[in-house]
Amino acid sequence: MGFVPISIDKYIKKYLKNNPSENEKDLRKRLGSAISDYQNGEKCSCGNDIWVIGSASVGNSCYTCITGESMPIDDYEIDLVIKKRENKKGQRHIDEIKPSEIHGFFDDDGYEINSDLIKKPSLCITCIHDDNPNEEPLCNMNRFDQKDEKDFKCFAYKKINI
């Protein structure tokens, strides 16, 4: 039970296939703003987290208020807003890893950083480097460095031409 995670691009493709009259630019914009609202902690009027995919169509509300169902079963949600459980104990310390196996990166205490847990800023969604596996480590490094900053800045940012 729960949401099925989907990337923003995959969702947009799926949605446009079922709703050919929808404008891709508008949809992307609405999803982007629902994601940033979610990340800014905006809640449904009932106090629950908003459901980004539904909110992009009907305004910011949670799954239950939008659908009337108590739990999502096969419904999609944008992968980057699905909260992942943090597990500090599962992290490896740099001293426990053979030097030949060290890749990825580590926090200031020497614990391996699981890049899946790094929040993707909404800026990245409109960047040509998004989902590029070659850029991913650099992107994650940049995101991790700024995880406590209010505004995310990126010098590699290049806007997608739609």
Query: For binding to Zn ion (CB under 5 A), which residues are involved?
Result: 44, 46, 48, 62, 65
Closest CB 135 distance from Zn ion, rounded Å: 37
Beta-carbon contacts of 74 under 8 Å, excluding residues fewer than 6 positions away, are 4
Closest CB 51 distance from Zn ion, rounded Å: 9
DSSP state of 112: B
Q: Which is nearer to Zn ion, 31 or 44 (CB)?
A: 44
Q: Which is nearer to Zn ion, 65 or 97 (CB)?
A: 65
Q: Give the length of the chain.
A: 162
How far apart, in whole angstroms, are the C-alpha atoms of residue 125 and residue 32?
7
Closest CB 111 distance from Zn ion, rounded Å: 36
Q: Which is nearer to Zn ion, 65 or 117 (CB)?
A: 65
Q: Which residues pair with 4 in a beta bridge?
A: 76
Closest CB 68 distance from Zn ion, rounded Å: 11
Chain center to CA of 35: 8
Q: Which is nearer to Zn ion, 20 or 47 (CB)?
A: 47
Q: Which is nearer to Zn ion, 27 or 44 (CB)?
A: 44
Residue 11, classified by CB atoms within 10 Å of its CB into exposed (0-12), middle (13-18) or buried (19+), is buried
Closest CB 134 distance from Zn ion, rounded Å: 40
Query: What angle separates helix 24-39 from helix 8-18, to the nearest 10 degrees?
Result: 140
How far apart, in whole angstroms, are the C-alpha atoms of residue 69 and residue 89?
35
